[in-house]
Structure 1
Amino acid sequence: MVSTLVSLCAREVVSDHSSSPCWLRWVPRELYRALLEAAFSSCRPLTVGELVQRWPERTLRVGRSRKQGLIAPNRLCIQALLLAVVRGLSDRRCALQVLDLCGLQGDEGGMGDPMGGWSLTVALCTMVVQARSGAQRAQRREGERERKRFSALEREKDVKRERGLRKREPEVDSENLEGGSRGADLSTGVRRRMEIERRIETGSSKKETEEKDAHSDVIVHVRADLFVNARSWERVRAALSTQGPLKLQCRYLRVEEISVSSIKSLLDLVPHQGLLGIDIRYSSLGVSGLVELLPPLSTFPALKSLRLHYCNLDFRRDHPGQEEALRDLSQGLAKLQELRRLSLTALRLPGQLRVLLSSLPQPLEVLELPYLNLSPADHAYLSCSHHASTLQQLDLSENSLDESTLPSIRRLLSQASSSLQHLSLGGCGLTDSLLALLLPSLGGCRSLKSLALALNPLSMAGLMDLVRMAVRMPCLRHLLYPNPLEDYQPGLPDLPSSAQLLDWPLDEATEINLTSSQLNRVLMESGRSDLFLTCDLLNYDRDLLD
């Protein structure tokens, strides 16, 4: 109740920017967070900038938390925040030392004009480079002021010295010309030595300034998730190699369409302590490229996640050198001591799962293997591996299941029954008969929170059996079910593939809402109002489940 009242008051306060000079000076530091959130939600970029420029705390976290129902801030607000961080470097009222933007990026072109991952990365890198340039200009101005002040002091000393010498001239024996000439020579020598010392001091101070400029102290550490592709590669490289008042740190690194050499160069620049995961997509790594990347990845002590999507990996025993490459890859994976998440999408790895996963030193918690064309031997190994009992998230989508592989899947679900929270078996060719054999094992996963079974050829009867089982699972909150075969237009094959189910039009004459109403009736009869059912594959967002 109190937090709601504070939020309402904060929205009212930030609604009129013209009044900010009146209240901003008197706001206690405890209310800055509420005012900033109100400014974000009301899209008040000017207020965002004023609050951040004088942020009273050491840390500012602006990352999006979907489970709290928060949306990504508006693009203008993010730009105002970044500009305010740079201005705050010279503002004595600002106490900011850590800016955490991890998880901030939204979907490009989404509702409310959020800032996508690529745009945010470019804006962050631009901010870091501009802050460095601003610091250099400020140092040059400060150096010029110091030089002028030092010159003025030296001139004043010279004037005082000359006056002192003129006062002492009558005391000198005028008849002793030789002594007088020695005094003049002594005075000249003193001045000459002073000039030499002054030049040495000026040169040493310039050298110290250059060294300080090259190794300037970091004022604010900026943590973020970086999205790098060929267009942003140079900008990111410049920001990571820049030494200045802002230090860019990366939590999760996503790269797309970048060569192996560029990825290695990027890894050399990323601070090794903070990187938790790397996501490589649409890059033609090849087997040799991945083997080349694994040694640099092993130098990141906190690396927990490795994701490879459409990276053109093809393991075939009939190709020369494949056995050696596979052995090198296995040895490289063995060095990833903290790896807990492994995602391999659309890589041609039939029969090679044992060689890859058995080399990992720690059991995985998240394993995603969609579109891998897994063989029965792969399923059999997975069900008996040291990863089975620790899996919290498993994705076997688009890997065909039949009666020969079903025993392995049931054994795998039995091993993971106490830990598994998210399971995806979409497009696996599950028919009514196969699903009936699998339902007891699915029902035994008491910790399961989400289950995705889209694009499987189930009839309405099989779908009803699935929902009746789902309502008996106490932890299940989301079920992505397939459209029953009765909802499609005539002409669909008896055992359609997932691609056919995706492309085949639904029958407009069929009352599709009838399917939803029948399923919801099962929910109402069981009293499960907390279970969400959907067949919307495109909008099913698994991140909402975290």
Structure 2
Amino acid sequence: MVLSLVSLSAREVVSDHSSCPSWLRCVPRELYGPLLEAAFAGSRPLAVGELAQRWPQRVLRVGGRRKRGQTAPNRLCVQALLLAVVRGLPDPRCALEVLDLCGLQGDEGGTGDPMGGWSLTVALCTMVVQASAAAQRAQKKEGERERKRFSALEREKDLKRERGQRIGAKETNSDEESINKEMIESSAVVGEEGLIKGVRRRMEIEKKSGTVSTALRGSKRELEEKEVDSDVLLHVRADLFVNARSWERVRVALTTSGPLKLQCRYLRVEEISVSSIKTLLGLLPRRALMGIDIRYSSLGVAGLAELLPLLSVFPALNSLRLHYCNLDFRRDHLGQEEALRELSQGLGHLKELRRLSLTALRLPGQLRVLLSSLPQPLEVLEMPYLSLSPADLAYLSCSHHASTLHQLDLSENRLDETTLPSIRRLLSQASSSLQHLSLSGCGLTDGLLGLLLPSLGGCLALKSLALALNPLSIAGLMDLLRMVVRIPSLRQLLYPNPLEDYQPGLPDLPSSAQLLDWPLDEISHANITGFQLNRVLTDSGRSDLLLTCDLLNYDKDLVD
């Protein structure tokens, strides 16, 4: 990565914190952004705090998608940022109104000590509560000062009134009586007229209330949010990660009124009950939420059907992810059919849904019921470990979603001769739009892959292809590589280790679990495999295509 002159200069400026008082007084507002980026890149928390406390613009965005090789901001820098933002609220030099931290979190325990999603959520909730408490203390002190000032003014008025009464008490008695009499008479007339007008006005309001009550009832939540927002000095946007340990902190922060208001773009919840998720959804601002990710929570089909109507009130919601949520339709439970119909109806109310991720839900033969109710075609569909049946894949290849898919994940769904025609039809329908495809662990042999290669070669928009944990030989792998180098848009290929690279004893048609656990014979074959693959790349002139067999560190988002 080549740094610009501005970036290099900014790194040099923020490297010495002792010089901050000198350059902060004269630095233009346009340079605050490069300076803050340099402070994060160089892990300079003191410089981060100085810049954030005096931020001269209305919006401050930290986070977002990182470039290849770029690490998440250091934990100390993030903490310094949050503390400085709270300190800068009463600072007249700070113009900050919106702090956008969406996408800021890194992986817990990653290089550079980044702040993970759970830690960032807890820190943000603590910041909201502390800012509210500080505002209440300041308001209490101001109220005490106002009370003392008012008491002093009242005492001064009383003294002046006593002096005036002693001087002209006798001269004003008769005049006061006449004036009071006139005031009483006039107030009686005005009061009677006001009463008549008030009754008429009340009758008009009651007459009109029948026509507007429905609209008022529908917008009550929005009006309440606007009233609360009027007292907010800073809106904080972030992706929240909530589990059983952070649930209470998040609930308190979302119900706390004060100068900071927490908004959630993407919500990830883990291992909490349906009732807790419902409570959490009821506390979130409606217009901000764009996606929800529910993991390792025992929802069941009935629990999910109960949640979906609550999701329909979020107008911007376009992503729904359900991972290991104990949805198993194969179990013989009473009421499952009715719950599945309710589930389908609930999905039908998600008008803006474009991304649906279902992991290990085990609903074989029910894909038509789920996806046919969606009003808009999906752009991202992830269905690993879903036990898809031939009927499911046949429906998907002919559905209204097929031609709009940008990303498709069918990992760990067994493919064979009966499902191959549906997969080829699906790839043909999605050939002009599909950018990311994963068929890892699908049991693709050399023969099956050979039948599939023409369809894969027709996906000319493909950027990443994942085929790990498939039982391919070195010959099948070479055929795959000779085909993918002819896809000009492809930038990343996750290929499987060929069967020749494994130690002896592997079954003839091993499963993905066996390929994952079986030891590799790296000395005898791995170097030969790498040499052969690189030779094909060199001969084809595709130096822009990244080949990897590292399943754990594979990231398809790096090619965007």
> Who is 1:383 aligned against?
397
2: CA distance, partners of 1:139 / 1:65: 40
Q: Which amino acid aligns with 2:271?
A: E
1:483 corresponds, among 480, 497, 502, to 497
By how many angstroms is 1:318 displaced? 4.8
2: CA distance, partners of 1:214 / 1:300: 19
TM-score, length of structure 2 as denominator length: 0.88
By how many angstroms is 1:70 displaced? 3.5
TM-aligned CA distance change 1:539 to 1:437, over 3 Å: same
**Contact 2:302–2:336 (CA under 8 A) maintained in structure 1:** no
> Who is 1:496 aligned against?
510
TM-aligned CA distance change 1:395 to 1:28, over 3 Å: same
Q: Which amino acid aligns with 2:257?
A: Q
Q: Which amino acid aligns with 1:109?
A: G
Matched, 1:267 2:259: no
Q: Which runs of 5+ in 1 are unaligned?
A: 174-178, 187-212
By how many angstroms is 1:218 displaced? 0.7
2: CA distance, partners of 1:2 / 1:446: 31
1: CA distance, partners of 2:25 / 2:52: 14
TM-aligned CA distance change 1:16 to 1:245, over 3 Å: same
1:414 corresponds, among 428, 432, 438, to 428
Q: Which amino acid aligns with 2:539?
A: E
By how many angstroms is 1:166 displaced? 4.0
Cα offsets for 1:206-262 (capped at 9, x unmatched): xxxxxxx98861111110000000000000011111111111100000000000000
> Who is 1:526 aligned against?
540
**Contact 2:71–2:111 (CA under 8 A) maintained in structure 1:** no
TM-score, length of structure 1 as denominator length: 0.91
1: CA distance, partners of 2:122 / 2:521: 46
By how many angstroms is 1:522 displaced? 0.5
TM-aligned CA distance change 1:47 to 1:377, over 3 Å: same
Q: Which amino acid aligns with 1:468?
A: R
By how many angstroms is 1:69 displaced? 5.1
TM-aligned CA distance change 1:22 to 1:355, over 3 Å: same
Matched, 1:163 2:163: yes
> Who is 2:416 aligned against?
402
Cα offsets for 1:122-166 (capped at 9, x unmatched): 000110111111111111111111111111111222222233334
**Contact 2:86–2:127 (CA under 8 A) maintained in structure 1:** yes
Alignment of structure 1 residues 195-206 onto 2, 5 Å = none
1: CA distance, partners of 2:385 / 2:261: 39
By how many angstroms is 1:372 displaced? 0.8
Cα offsets for 1:307-358 (capped at 9, x unmatched): 0000000113854322211111111111111110111100111111111111
SS in 1 for 2:67: helix
> Who is 2:186 aligned against?
none
1: CA distance, partners of 2:142 / 2:230: 14
**Contact 1:392–1:419 (CA under 8 A) maintained in structure 2:** yes
**Contact 1:128–1:248 (CA under 8 A) maintained in structure 2:** yes
Matched, 1:237 2:251: yes
1: CA distance, partners of 2:376 / 2:265: 21
Q: Which amino acid aligns with 2:160?
A: K
Cα offsets for 1:80-113 (capped at 9, x unmatched): 1001111111111100001000000000010000
SS in 2 for 1:103: coil
Cα offsets for 1:173-213 (capped at 9, x unmatched): 9xxxxx89x99xx9xxxxxxxxxxxxxxxxxxxxxxxxxx9
2: CA distance, partners of 1:317 / 1:121: 37
**Contact 1:216–1:243 (CA under 8 A) maintained in structure 2:** no
SS in 2 for 1:510: helix
> Who is 1:195 aligned against?
none
2: CA distance, partners of 1:391 / 1:65: 22
**Contact 1:439–1:466 (CA under 8 A) maintained in structure 2:** yes
**Contact 1:455–1:502 (CA under 8 A) maintained in structure 2:** yes
**Contact 1:64–1:70 (CA under 8 A) maintained in structure 2:** no
> Who is 2:223 aligned against?
none
Alignment of structure 1 residues 163-202 onto 2, 5 Å = 163-168=163-168
TM-aligned CA distance change 1:19 to 1:362, over 3 Å: same
> Who is 1:459 aligned against?
473
SS in 2 for 1:248: strand
> Who is 1:277 aligned against?
291
Identity %, equivalent residues: 81
1: CA distance, partners of 2:6 / 2:151: 57
Matched, 1:362 2:376: yes
2:407 corresponds, among 387, 393, 396, to 393
Q: Which amino acid aligns with 1:62?
A: V
1: CA distance, partners of 2:437 / 2:380: 10
**Contact 1:316–1:322 (CA under 8 A) maintained in structure 2:** no
2: CA distance, partners of 1:2 / 1:433: 46
TM-aligned CA distance change 1:351 to 1:317, over 3 Å: farther
By how many angstroms is 1:56 displaced? 0.1
> Who is 1:206 aligned against?
none
1: CA distance, partners of 2:93 / 2:87: 11
Alignment of structure 1 residues 241-390 onto 2, 5 Å = 241-316=255-330, 318-390=332-404
Q: Which amino acid aligns with 1:86?
A: V
1: CA distance, partners of 2:65 / 2:358: 26
1: CA distance, partners of 2:15 / 2:229: 43
Using the TM superposition, name which of 7-16 and 480-489 deviates more. Answer: 7-16
2: CA distance, partners of 1:6 / 1:311: 49
SS in 1 for 2:25: helix
By how many angstroms is 1:530 displaced? 0.5
TM-aligned CA distance change 1:80 to 1:390, over 3 Å: same
TM-aligned CA distance change 1:2 to 1:30, over 3 Å: farther
Q: Which amino acid aligns with 1:121?
A: T
Cα offsets for 1:274-311 (capped at 9, x unmatched): 11100000000011100100110111111101100000
Q: Which runs of 5+ in 2 are unaligned?
A: 181-226
By how many angstroms is 1:374 displaced? 0.7
**Contact 1:463–1:484 (CA under 8 A) maintained in structure 2:** yes
**Contact 1:427–1:455 (CA under 8 A) maintained in structure 2:** yes
TM-aligned CA distance change 1:339 to 1:2, over 3 Å: closer
Alignment of structure 1 residues 12-23 onto 2, 5 Å = 12-23=12-23
By how many angstroms is 1:67 displaced? 3.2
Question: After the TM superposition, which segments of 4 or more aligned residues of structure 1 sit over 6 Å from their partners?
Answer: 213-216
> Who is 1:543 aligned against?
557
Q: Which amino acid aligns with 1:482?
A: P
1: CA distance, partners of 2:553 / 2:330: 36
TM-aligned CA distance change 1:516 to 1:68, over 3 Å: closer
> Who is 1:150 aligned against?
150
Alignment of structure 1 residues 73-152 onto 2, 5 Å = 73-152=73-152
2: CA distance, partners of 1:468 / 1:247: 54
Q: Which amino acid aligns with 2:21?
A: P
Cα offsets for 1:20-48 (capped at 9, x unmatched): 11111111101111111111111111111
**Contact 1:215–1:243 (CA under 8 A) maintained in structure 2:** no
> Who is 1:190 aligned against?
none
How many residues matched?
Answer: 512
1: CA distance, partners of 2:118 / 2:49: 22
**Contact 1:317–1:323 (CA under 8 A) maintained in structure 2:** no
2: CA distance, partners of 1:438 / 1:318: 37
By how many angstroms is 1:542 displaced? 2.1
Alignment RMSD, CA only? 2.1
